[in-house]
Amino acid sequence: MKIVPTLAICALAISTTLAATASAQSHGQTQVANAKKMLAPGKKAKDFQLRAIAGELPGDVSLSQVNADGPVVVVVLRGFPGRQCPACSAQVGDIVKNADKFAAKNARVLLIYPGAKLQLGEHAGDFLQGTKLPKPLTFLLDPDFQFTNAYGLRWNATNETAYPTTLVVDKSGKITYVKISETHGGRAMSNEILAAL
């Protein structure tokens, strides 16, 4: 006698979960579509200022300050969504290996590590594992998603932080290239970014 109500309750729970998942996916797709419009090539990149913890530039770094000297590559990582992201490590490793090619194009590379302010610096240090970033790379913290929210890249799902994104901003401050990943993979790698510079 109790089996039928239990099955009905299970079916309702599954139905509710599936509806919530579909709603979250739909919201995520809308959010990414909005971010793609905001960051479309030809649009002016919003200025931002974040604190550097490693790399070429010390202290507080603003896009407008760096952009005055030439093009800027902005790479938004996932930060610390509960563990370090292997796809982020691979992408940063690839960029580090090609640092001299970015320097040859007079481009600065800003690597942005978003997350909750509490322990963000510690998690970022764990991510870098003592790696000395060569010129022209700089590693910036995005505490409490200040930059990520302003750029519409906050990934509001369980165990997520930001949509992995790469932008190229030319010397005039306009976006000339954008790649937003809706998954953990699908990252812009150095050959693609260098071709866009």
Is residue 97 within 8 A of residue 134, CB to CB? The reply is no
Bridging pattern class, strands 108-115 and 137-143: parallel
What integer pLDDT is reported at residue 5 of this predicted model? 52
Tell whether the model's pLDDT for residue 155 goes beyond 90: yes
Helix (H, G, I), strand (E, B) or coil at 78: coil
- In which band, very low, low, confident or very high, does the pLDDT at 21 lie, cut at 50, 70 and 90? very low
Instruction: Over range 105-116, report the average pLDDT.
Output: 97
Q: What pLDDT digit, counting tens, does each position of 29-78 carry?
A: 677 788 778 899 999 999 999 999 999 999 999 999 999 999 999 999 99
pLDDT class of 28 with cuts at 50, 70, 90: low
Work out the average pLDDT over 152-176: 95
